[in-house]
Amino acid sequence: MTDMTQKLTSRLLAWNWDAWNHPHRAIILTPVFILVGGAISILLSIQLAHDGFTIWPDGTMTITFTLSALFIGYIVLALID
């Protein structure tokens, strides 16, 4: 278990792509994760606006969902890699 944890931390906390087994996957999927997070935030904010809920200040929801999708995508990719 510590070996998997060590591999995850070395990949997720590194500032270069050399820690990954397949660095091109992470490089190519980074914009995909960002676009997915942005699309989810737009769809969710539209749905909330139609339901009458107030939406967070401008851009906060988009930034939150984009970064969340990026981090979750990297974690899943690190687990697969």
Is the Cα dihedral 17, 13, 72, 61 positive or negative? Answer: negative
Q: What is the pLDDT of residues 13-63, one digit of tens each?
A: 777 777 778 888 888 888 999 999 989 888 888 888 888 877 667 778 888
Contact 37, 72 (CB under 8 A): no
**The domain containing residue 60 runs over which residues?**
2-13+22-80
Q: Of 16, 36, 18, which is closest to residue 76 (Cα–Cα)?
A: 36
Kindly state the tokens that stand for 9. Answer: 């931390």
User: What is the pLDDT, as a whole number, of residue 56?
Assistant: 67
The three-class DSSP label of residue 47 is: helix
Give the list of residues 6+ apart from residue 41 with CB closer than 8 angstroms, or none: 61, 62, 64, 65, 66
Q: Count up the domains in the chain and report the number.
A: 1
